[in-house]
Structure 1
Amino acid sequence: MVKLLAKSPVEGLVPLEINGLTLTESGLGPVTSVAPYAGQEAAASGALKALIGAEMPSPNRSTGREGARVIWTGAGQAMVVGADVDASLAQHAALTDQSDAWVTFRLQGQGVEDVLARLTPLDLNPGVFKTGHAARSQLGHMNAVFLKVAADAFEIMIFRSMARTAVHEFEIAMKAVAARAALS
């Protein structure tokens, strides 16, 4: 019998460090899509609060803390990351295990917004996109979820199948920002 081994889609590609910016993989643990049924939004939010200590977030926000977060991912939907979602929540919301579908990167360091400005149309300036803010947008030509986790750090969720391409895009942008800094 063949033994299959689980491995990261970015194994051997990260960590990547360029001019004080680092790109690493964030192992978020379980990822579950939660889409409350019509009229069940408040009940789903309350159930999440009781189960993991974080409720359904407002648009473009996240709730909770590292290890148990709920991230807004679109109208009427969010992702619970880092915590198991009890099946009892299914009475209030459609649940889908997404754990194997995503890879999450952490991009950190001074100038992180400059790197991301080359990759996404989002306005990630610190005065606009603050810690705890979340948005679903594009990273190059890939769908992504952006979460600001610290003053100089973002977590970016990408579909697992696009992991190698994402690392390539990050690397090009990081090198371009480093080259621009060297000319200053």
Structure 2
Amino acid sequence: MGELIAKSAFGDLLPLSVGAATLSEADVGHLTSIAPFRGQTTATSQALRAAHGMALPAVNRATGKAVARAIWFGKDMALLVGPPPNADLAKTAALTDQSDAWACVTLDGPPAEDILARLVPVDLRAAEFKRGHTVRTQIRHMNGSITRVGSDSFLIMVFRSMAITLVHDIKEAMEATAARR
């Protein structure tokens, strides 16, 4: 049997710098959806805290740090980003490996908010969308997730099949924003 080689969804398109902004592939590790069984949200949150040091996030929030983060991912669902899930979580929640389903990038730099304002129908300015805030939204015409991970830094996730389109759309927005500065 041949050996499989993991390939980036972005090919050789990243990293990309335009003006003061940089778009780079985010190596986030494992991605696991956590969907607590009916009536098990508190128990799942406690198990997540015991195993990974963070509780289930509130709506539109993320908990944890860069090496292990839980991101709100929809009604009664969170996405564990980083480590593989502790087996104890399976006692109170459905766990699904999402690692190959999503393409993840980080957009960094002072113009990041202005760049995303061209693509997203959500107010991502720091006054409204602070570190640890997250949203499931349209990114131009794609479904995605955006989480503020730093003062000028966003983790952006789209379905893997849309990776090249994401780079194209963000690059256009980066160029347009840089042209205005």
**Secondary structure of 2:70's partner?**
strand
Structure 1 match to 2:21:
21
In structure 2, C-alpha distance between the alignment counterparts of 1:2 and 1:163, rounded to whole Å: 26
Deviation, structure 1 residue 55: 0.9
Mapping of 1:88-127 within 5 angstroms?
88-127=88-127
CA distance in structure 2 between the aligned counterparts of 1:152 and 1:89, rounded to whole angstroms: 33
Counterpart for residue 56 of structure 1: 56
Letter in 2 for 1:114: D
SS in 1 for 2:168: helix
Equivalent runs, 1:30-179 vs 2, <5 Å: 30-179=30-179
**After superposition, what is the alpha-carbon deviation per residue over 1:82-124, rounded to whole angstroms, capped at 9, x for unaligned?**
0110222112111100011111100000111100001110110
Distance 2:43 2:19 in 1: 47
Deviation of 1:71 after TM superposition, in Å, equals 0.3
Deviations 1:47-99 (A, max 9, x none): 00011101100101011111100000111001000011022211211110001
Q: Give the whole-Å Cα distance in 1 for the aligned partners of 2:31 and 2:3.
A: 25
Alpha-carbon distance between aligned partners in 2 of 1:127 and 1:38, rounded to the nearest angstrom = 35
Q: Aligned pair count?
A: 181
Runs of 4+ in 1 over 6 A off after TM superposition: none
3-state SS, counterpart of residue 49 of structure 1: helix
Structure 1 residue 6 displacement after superposition: 1.1
**Partner amino acid, structure 2, of 1:168:** H
TM-score (norm 1): 0.96
Question: In structure 2, what residue type is equivalent to 1:173?
Answer: A
**Secondary structure of 2:125's partner?**
coil
The alpha-carbon deviation at position 170 of structure 1 amounts to 0.5
SS class of match (2:48): helix
Deviation at 1:11, TM superposition (A): 2.2
Query: Given residue 11 of structure 1, which amino acid in structure 2 is its aligned partner?
Result: G
Distance 2:66 2:37 in 1: 27
**Structure 2 residue ranges without an equivalent (≥5):** none
Runs of at least 5 residues in structure 1 that lack an aligned partner in the other structure: none
Identity fraction in percent: 49
Distance in 2 between the 1:172 and 1:138 partners? 16
Q: Deviations over 1:132-170 (max 9, x none)?
A: 101100111111111000110000011111100000000
Q: Hey, what does 1:11 align to over in structure 2?
A: 11
